[in-house]
Amino acid sequence: MVLQLTDSTKDIYKRLLKIAVPMMIQNGVSNIVNLLDNFMIGMVSTNALSGVGIANQMMFVFYLMTFGATAGSGIFTAQYYGNRDWEGVRITFRFKIVTNLILSVLASFIFFFGANFLVSRFLMGEGDPADAAETLKIGVQYLHVMVISLIPIGICQSYAGTLRDIGETKVPLIASAIAIAVNFTGNLLLIYGLLGFPALGALGAAIATVISRFVELGVLIVYVATHKKQCPFIVGAFKHFKIPAKMAREFIIKATPLLLNETMWSFGITMLNQSYSFRTLDAMAAIQIETSIYNVMMVAFVAMGEAVGILTGQVLGSGKVEEAKKDAFKMIWFTVAFGTLFGLIMIIISPFFPMIFPDATVQIRNLATWLIVINGILMPSYSFTHAAYFIIRSGGKTLITMIFDSGFVWILSVPCAFLLSHYTDLPLVWMVFAVQALELIKCITGGLFVRSGVWAKNIAKEVNEEST
């Protein structure tokens, strides 16, 4: 596919990059620091690396739940902003706050009291029982501390999501950068016990992360409260939490499939990793190493996909439905170009990256190398489906996106991984490749649905008309 750079196409790419680049930087810096976190924890022990990785699978589920809840009303936020309807933006902001607080409290209860059960599900493969016991202890301790961060994460999502939806992408970047600095400094002090602080290992990493989450939330609150001109939605936002019944109904109708989707998808990915770990305990350490570099390299297509969704939503909200349809594939292929570039980089560095984890065995490093190669090869397809997902979602087709995203994982990927791990002797690397390559089916499905154009709706206008 050749990108035709007409003046209108160049304008689309400039607008996309204006939204996406700050998010790329934010996510990139954050994931680089997470990479350093994993490296520092890996220096403590491989068991610590595995324990933290398992606990972060739980945090991953929660994060995507709040992301889904925020994104549901965020579809309306982008469209309200496209029509400069600040009262609509304000109402969606309230909805995000309430929903994410409820989710945070529920997740805190589950993670605190169910930590032992949840972490132990990943320690059923072949390996040394003593290593499994130590990994379980570390994972449970880490998760118990991380529970403290759930409420600030939920509120941060509400603020940062709203700011991105109205085009203020630099502010979450700054807040994240400050939090990252705090987190990294805390890691140095508390993991290794520098400057007289206690050496707490993985537990220290958890404490540093919790502190950084509160700092990030503080920065966002202060900025929005002191920049009312740029953020008019905050004026009167907390006078009450009343949401018009018809609008609340529509938010829930659109948000529920996204919440369920992110929850089911994240649980699906967790189940995939559990299936891989069933073959060998080395799988979790290798996956944590691979995930460290993948999270850095995927920031380009992830940010581009989110930017595609925001820009498409703003165009739809302004009433330019046909323009949104016309530009859809231009934005998708632009996203794929970024994914291809960073996929190639992953493949090139795959033999060298695992070597920075000195405590990992040769077997773990070799396994991690092949996992990196697999994800590098398939990154263009991930980019395509990610952009297609956000385009479909921008018009309010959230039930379709749930089937397209999490439905795909549970109908194809999870059963395939379970069957291959439990009933075949297929080597782990080939098993992972077989499961991940199913993404190509998702690409075809997403492309056909985007081409149909049935997703292109100005739902904000429809809701306003129903509410009057």
Query: What is the DSSP secondary-structure string of 41-57?
Result: HHHH-HHHHHHHHHHHH
Q: What is the mean pLDDT of residues 70-79?
A: 78
Cα-flanking dihedrals φ and ψ of residue 198, to 5°?
-70, 145
Which two tokens mark 431?
Answer: 């098993």
Alpha-carbon torsion, ordered 261, 23, 371, 289, to 10 deg: -110
Closest CA to 418 of 288, 273, 282, 285: 273
Taking the C-alpha atoms of residue 438 and residue 445, their distance in angstroms, rounded to an integer, is 12
Does a structural domain hold residue 450?
yes
pLDDT band for position 373 (50/70/90)?
A: very high
Under 8 Å between Cβ of 179 and 219: yes
Under 8 Å between Cβ of 261 and 399: no
Taking the C-alpha atoms of residue 58 and residue 54, their distance in angstroms, rounded to an integer, is 7
pLDDT band for position 56 (50/70/90)?
A: confident
Q: What is the pLDDT of residue 376?
A: 94
Mean per-residue pLDDT of the chain = 83
Q: What is the pLDDT of residue 323?
A: 83
Tell me the residue range of the domain where 262 lies: 7-462
Q: Is the pLDDT of residue 245 over 90?
A: no
Which two tokens mark 319?
Answer: 């009433």
Does a structural domain hold residue 133?
yes
Q: Is the pLDDT of residue 186 over 80?
A: yes
Taking the C-alpha atoms of residue 192 and residue 181, their distance in angstroms, rounded to an integer, is 17
Dihedral-angle region of residue 194 (phi above 0 means left; psi in -120 to 50 means alpha; beta otherwise) = beta
pLDDT band for position 464 (50/70/90)?
A: low
Question: In this structure, what DSSP letter does residue 166 have?
Answer: T
Q: Is the pLDDT of residue 463 over 60?
A: no
Q: What is the pLDDT of residue 295?
A: 78
Does a structural domain hold residue 468?
no
Lowest mean per-residue pLDDT among 119-123, 139-143, 184-188, 231-235: 119-123
State the Rg of the chain over Cα.
Answer: 22
Which range, 215-229, 231-245, 301-315, has the best average confidence (pLDDT)?
215-229
Which two tokens mark 213?
Answer: 């989450």
Q: What is the mean pLDDT of residues 13-24?
A: 80
Does a structural domain hold residue 1?
no
Does a structural domain hold residue 322?
yes
Q: What is the mean pLDDT of residues 321-346?
A: 89
Q: Is the pLDDT of residue 194 over 80?
A: yes
Q: How many residues does the chain have?
A: 468
Q: What is the mean pLDDT of residues 411-424?
A: 91
Does a structural domain hold residue 70?
yes
Does a structural domain hold residue 22?
yes
pLDDT band for position 2 (50/70/90)?
A: very low
pLDDT band for position 267 (50/70/90)?
A: confident
Q: How many domains does the chain have?
A: 1
Those residues with Cβ within 8 angstroms of residue 241's Cβ, 6 or more apart along the chain or in another chain: 94, 97, 98
DSSP-assigned states of every residue in 256-280: HHHHHHHHHHHHHHHHHHHHHHHH-
What is the CA 284 to chain-centroid distance, rounded? 19
Q: What is the pTM of this model?
A: 0.68
Q: Is the pLDDT of residue 160 over 50?
A: yes
Dihedral-angle region of residue 453 (phi above 0 means left; psi in -120 to 50 means alpha; beta otherwise) = left
Does a structural domain hold residue 340?
yes
Q: Is the pLDDT of residue 3 over 50?
A: no
Q: What is the pLDDT of residue 293?
A: 85
